[in-house]
Amino acid sequence: MGVAEIDHPDMSLLSLKQISKTFDKTQAVADVSLDVERGEFFGLLGPSGCGKTTTLRMIAGLEKPDAGVIEFDGRDITNLPAERRGFGMVFQNYALFPHLNVFENVAFGLRARHTSKPEILERVNSALDLVQLPGYEKRRVDELSGGQQQRVAIARAIAIEPALLLFDEPLSNLDVTLREATRGELRELVARLGLTAVYVTHDQEEAFALCDRISVMGGGRILQTARPRELYEQPAQLSVARFLGRNNLIRAMRLSSSKSDLGEFKTLDGGHTIRVPVGELDLAPLNQPCILAIRPEHVVIGSGNDNTANALEAEVREINFAGATSSIKLDANGLLLEALTLEADGLSAGDHCSVVLPPERISLLKNE
Amino acid sequence: MYELPTSQFPSPRSRFSPSPRLLPWLIVGVVLLYGVLYPNLHVVIASLQSDAGWSLANYRQVLSQSIVLESIFASVGVSILTVLFCAAVGVPLAFLFERYAFPARRLFATLAALPLVLPPLVGTIAFIFLFGESGILARFAQSIFGLENSPWSLRGWPALLFFHTYTMYPFFYMLTGAGLRRIDASLAEAAQSLGAGRLRVLARVVLPQLTPSLIAAALLTFMTSMASFSAPLLFGGSVRVLTLEIYTARQRGDAGVAVTETVILALISLSALVVFQRYEGTRKFAASALKGATKKRQAITGGRARALAIAGGVIFSLILVLPVATLVLVSFASEGQWTVQTLPPSYTVANYAKIFSDPRASEVFLNSLSMSAIAAGAALVWSFCVAAVMARKGGRNWKRVLSWLILVPWALPGTVVAVSIAEAYGQTSPLLGSFILVGTFWILPVVYFLRFMPLVVRALQASMEQLDAALEEAASSLGARWWRRLTRVTLPLVWPGAVAGTLLAFVIALGEYVASVLIFVPNNRPVSIAIASELREFNLGTAAAYGVVLMLIIGIIMMVATRLERSRA
C-alpha cells in the first residue's frame, strides 16, 4: 500500500477497510484493505479464484462482507444495498435485458430514478454516442455482435452518471484484436468523463495497459498494490513475481560479510556470489535462505569482464526462437537461468559465454 | 462532484406505498393457512377423535380390518410395480428417440407423449371399449376362434398395471429425454477416448448423470399411481386400493373411517416424497460451468435395423393411438345397437347432436371450462405472488417451509385433498364463522386450484432458475429495487413459462374426476361426472362423444402451450 493514502485518508473516494467474506467454509476474501482515489483507474488483478470478483461485488453491494467497512466519499456504505449505491457495473457476460431493446436497456437505470422523459431521451442518446452506437436504439440486443453488446453494457452503466464505475472482466468474451481496440477506447472514455473506475481482470497485459494502480490478489488477500511498472520491476513477493510474467527465481543465502549498500548473496545452486542492493535489512536476515528475482530480458549475455558485478560463466543449453525475441536457457555451474534477447548473436547450444545479472535489476523477495 | 446516490432516491412514493408489496404476502399467507394448513390439520384432528374425545379408536378400528391392510398393500404394491413397468417402457424409448435418427422419428416422438393429455377417466373408458372383455379386441378374437366367452378379462392386477403403464410411462419418457439432452456429449467422448466401451460409457457416465431425471420420474409415477382412482374403480376388480376404500367409506357415510384412511394415504404419499427427495439430494451433480454440445442423433442406416426401428415405431404408435381411435369410433356408434358385434354396426352423429343440443348436456362443458379457468387463472396470479415473496432476500427457513406447504397439495392424492376440504368446510366452526364451502359452486374451483397450483408454481420457478442471475444484479446496480426488478426484469422474462404451466393445469382440471366425484354439486356437474353417469346408464356412444370433445379442447390448448414454450427459446 502506498504511503500517500495512509497520510491522507480523507482524500480517497473509495476505501475498503479489512474486508472479509466467507462462502460456506471457503474464505473468498480475507482482510482486504485498499483505497481508490478520485479519477483513478484502479485494477484488481489475480488468477481465477483469488477473490477479485468477490471484492468487486462487495464494492457493488451485490455481496455483503462478513467483516470490515466500505466507505465511499467518507460515508459508510457497507450495508447500503446495491440499488442505492449508484455505481455503474459492467458484467462479464454483459447481462443485457433480452426482452428490452438497446434504448430501453440504456434507459433502465434512468427509469428507476424516475428521470423525466426528455432527459432520458437525451442521456440515452448521448451515452450511445459515447460508445459509438448511435442509431441502434430500436435494435434487439440479441441481434448485436459481442462487441456491440459490450458497448451497450458500457452505455447502460455510464448513462446513470455513476459515482463509481465497476468492471468485471468486461473484455474477456471478445476476441484478441477487438479486445485491444476496445481497451484503448474504454480508457479514453473513462478519462474523458472524469470517472473513477475499479477494473477486475486476470489478464496482466490488460491491467497494465488500463490501470493507474493495481492490487495483485492471491488466495483472497492483496499481495501488493502499486503502479504497473513498480509491480513488474519490484515485485514484493514471490507469488507476485510468479504471477506477473516470466522471472528467474534464484534461491540464495545472505552472507555475513556484506558491504553497506550492496548485500552479498551466495546462490544455493552453483555457489555464485551475487551483489544485490539491500534497503531494508530485515527483509533478508543473515544466513537465511531467500529468493532473488531477475526478469529474463534483464539478463545480459556476453559483455562481461572480471570487473563487472555479478558476471558468471555459463553454458548455453537451449535456444528458443520466438519471433521478435529469442529465449536462451543457460546453465551457470548448476544455476539455471533464462535470458531474453533480441538476437541470439550466433550462439548455439553447447557454447560457453559470460552472463551478467545487473545488481539494480535484481529484486529481493519477501519470504513467504 | 458526486453526490452519494442515496440522495437521488428521495421518492417517498416508493417508500410509503406498501400496498403492492404487502399484498402478495397477505395472499400467500391466507391461502396456505386456509387452503393447506387448516383443512389438513382438521382431518388429522378428526381422525384422532371419537365419541369419547381424543383417542386412537379410529386407527385401531381401521387397522384391524383386513380389507384396509390389504388396500394399503395393494396401493403400494401397484405403485411400485407401475414405476418398474413405466421405467422399462419409457427409458428405452427415450434413448431410441434421442439418440437415433430414422424416418418418421418426430411423429413417433410426438405421439409418445399422447397419454399425458388423456384424462384418466377418458383413458379408462377407451381401454374398456378396446381391451375390455366385451371390447373390440376380445370380440375380434371370439369371432376368429369361434369362442363362446371372452378369451380374457380386463380385471385386477394385470389390467391395472397395463393401464397405469400406458398412462404414466410418459413421465419416464419425457424426463429421461430431457436428461439426455442436457448431458454434455463430450463427456461420453472423453470416456470413449479413455478406452471405455459402449456399455461402460452407458453404465459409468450416462446413467449416473441421468439418475436425477430417473428419480424425478419415479417419484411422479409413484405419486400418480398412489392417487389413481378411475382405473381401480372401473376395472380394478378384486384389487381394492386406498383411494377406492376412502370413496366407498364416504359413500357409506362412515366419516371416521374415511378420514382415518385419508390420513394413512396422505402419510404414505408424503413419506414417499421425503424419501425420494432425500435420495435425489445425494445424487445431484453440480451443473458443469462449461457448456458442451449435446450428442448428435445417430442415423440408423443399416437396412434391417432401419426396418426394425420403423416397424417398432408403427406398432408402438398403434398401441398408443388405438384407444383414442376406438373412442372416436364408439362416439359415432348408434346407442343400443352395439351388442355382440366386433365393431359397432351402425354409425350416427346423434351422440354429438345430443351433447350440443341438450342444454343439460352442453352445460357440463361450460361448467368444467369456467371452473378450470377460475382455478388456473387463480393459480397464475398465485404463482406470481409466491414468486414475489420468494424474491425477497433472507428468511431462508421461512421460504423452505413455504415451498413445502405449496408442495403438499400436489403430493397428496386428489381424494385426500377433496376429503380434507369437504371435512374442513362442511360445517360451521368457531374458527371460520358460518363459512361453508360444501354444496356451493366454489368448492370445485377451490379444490382444482389447490390440486394444480403447485404445477404452475413449479413451472414459474423452473423458468426463474433458467434466468441469468446477473440480470437481476445488473438491474439492482442500475438502481432498481426488488419490486421494480421483479416487475420489469424477472416477470417479463418468465411469463411464457408460467402461462404454459397454467395451460397445463387448466387442461388437467378440465378432465378432473377423482376429487370431483367426491364433492360435486348436482347443478354444477363437470364433464367427467357426466361421462361417468352416461357410462352407468350404458350410453356408451354419448360417453365416448363427451370424451372426444374433451380431448379436442385439450389438444387445442396443448398446441397453444407448446407454441408458447417454443417462442421462448
In this predicted structure, the answer to whether residue B46 has a pLDDT above a threshold of 90 is: no
Higher-confidence position of B86 and A241: B86
What dihedral do alpha carbons B540, B543, B549, B550 form, nearest 10°? -140
Together in a domain, A125 and A45: yes
C-alpha cell at A126: 448521448
Q: Which fold has domain B21-47+349-569?
A: MetI-like fold (1.10.3720)
Q: Say which residue, B210 or A31, is predicted with more confidence.
A: A31
Tell me if B64 sits within 8 A of B442, measured CB to CB.
no
A80 and A216 within one domain: yes
> What is the average pLDDT score of chain B?
82
Residue A86 with chain B: CB contacts under 8 Å: 4-6, 8, 479
Question: What pLDDT is recorded for position B432?
Answer: 64
Q: Among residues A239, A265, A290, which one ends one of the domains?
A: A239
The reply to whether A23 and A114 lie within a common domain is: yes
- CATH topology for B65-94+119-284 is MetI-like fold (1.10.3720)
Domain region containing A179: 3-239
**How confident is the model over A35-50, as pLDDT tens digits?**
999 999 999 999 988 9
The confidence score (pLDDT) of residue B11 equals 40
Range from A106-110, B216-220, B494-498, B512-516 carrying the lowest mean pLDDT: B494-498
pTM value surpassing 0.80: no
Mean pLDDT of the region B477-487: 88
- pLDDT at residue number B292: 47
Q: Calculate mean pLDDT across residues B99-107.
A: 78
CA dist., res. B390 & res. B485, Å (int): 13
Q: Are residues A202 and A351 in the same domain?
A: no
For range B319-335, the mean pLDDT: 88
Same domain as A304, residue A234: no
Q: What is the pLDDT of residues A206-215, one digit of tens each?
A: 999 999 999 9
Cα radius of gyration rounded to whole Å, chain B: 26
The residue with greater pLDDT, B391 or A229, is A229
Q: What average pLDDT score do residues B50-58 get?
A: 77
Predicted-complex ipTM score: 0.77
Mutation pick from A97, A173, A198 vs chain B, by most beta carbons of B within 10 Å, is A97
CB neighbourhood size of A245 (10 A): 14
% pLDDT > 90, chain B:
16
Rounded mean pLDDT, A236-256? 83
Do A166 and A191 lie in a common domain? yes
- pLDDT band for B318, please (50, 70, 90 cuts): confident
CATH of the domain at A361: 2.40.50.100
- Do A223 and A91 lie in a common domain? yes
Choosing from A222, A239, A256, the residue where a domain stops is: A239
Chain A nearest-CA residue for B476: A83
pLDDT at B442 over 50: yes
Closest-CA residue of chain A to B6:
A84
- Chosen for mutation from A11, A40, A83 (greatest number of chain B CBs closer than 10 Å) is A83
Q: Which residues of B touch A62 (CB under 8 A)?
A: 473, 476-477
User: Distance (Å) from the C-alpha of residue B187 to the closest C-alpha of chain A?
Assistant: 24
Give me the pLDDT at residue A215, please. 95
What value does the mean pLDDT of chain A take? 86
Would you say residue B99 has pLDDT above 90?
Answer: no
Query: Does A349 or B185 have the greater pLDDT score?
Result: A349
* Partner-chain contact A91 B5, CB within 8 Å: no
pLDDT score, position A34: 93
Lowest mean pLDDT among A57-61, A131-135, A264-268: A264-268
B8 contacts on A by Cβ (under 8 Å): 86, 113
Q: Tell me the nearest-neighbour CA distance from B471 into chain A, angstroms.
A: 5
A21 pLDDT band, cuts 50/70/90, is: very high
pLDDT, residue A7, reads: 42
Count other C-beta atoms under 10 Å from residue B107's C-beta.
11
Specify whether A85 is located in the same domain as A14: yes
CB distance A112–B468 less than 8 Å? no
Return the number of other C-beta atoms located less than 10 Å from residue A346's C-beta.
6
Q: What is the mean pLDDT of residues A299-309?
A: 72
B566 vs A354, residue with greater confidence: A354
Pick A75's closest partner by Cβ from B4, B11, B479. B4
Please count the structural domains in chain A: 2
Q: What are the structural domain ranges in chain B?
A: 21-47+349-569, 65-94+119-284
- A107 or B200: whose pLDDT is higher? A107
Q: What is the predicted pLDDT for the residue at B17?
A: 44
Is A232 found in the same domain as A291?
A: no
| pLDDT tens digits along B158-213 | 889 999 999 999 889 888 888 887 777 777 777 777 777 777 878 787 888 888 88
Identify residue A37 by its one-letter amino acid code: E
What's residue A4's pLDDT?
37
Grid cell digits, residue B80: 411400485
DSSP designation for B32: I
For the cut 90, the answer to whether the pLDDT of residue B348 exceeds it is no
| Confidence class for position A2, pLDDT limits 50, 70, 90 | very low
Judgement on whether residues A183 and A277 belong to the same structural domain of the protein: no
B182 CB-side CA count, 13 A? 18
Residues A185 and A158 in one domain: yes
Contacts of B396 in chain A (CB under 8 A): none
pLDDT attached to residue B85? 95
Distance from CA of A42 to the nearest CA of B (A): 18
pLDDT of B261 over the 70 cut: yes
A222 has a pLDDT exceeding 70? yes
User: Between vectors from CA B173 to CA B170 and to CA B175, what angle results, nearest 5°?
Assistant: 100
Q: Mean per-residue pLDDT for A77-89?
A: 90
Q: What is the pLDDT of residues A338-347, one digit of tens each?
A: 998 887 667 8
Concatenated DSSP letters for B206-273?
IHHHHHHHHHHHHHHHHHHHHH--HHHHHH-TT---HHHHHHHHHHHT-HHHHHHHHHHHHHHHHHHH
Q: Are residues A117 and A255 in the same domain?
A: no
Q: Does A86 touch chain B (CB under 8 A)?
A: yes
Give the separation between CA B559 and CA B314, rounded to whole angstroms.
Answer: 23
Confidence of residue B288 (pLDDT cuts 50, 70, 90): very low
Last residue of a domain, one of A209, A239, A269: A239
What pLDDT is recorded for position A260?
A: 59
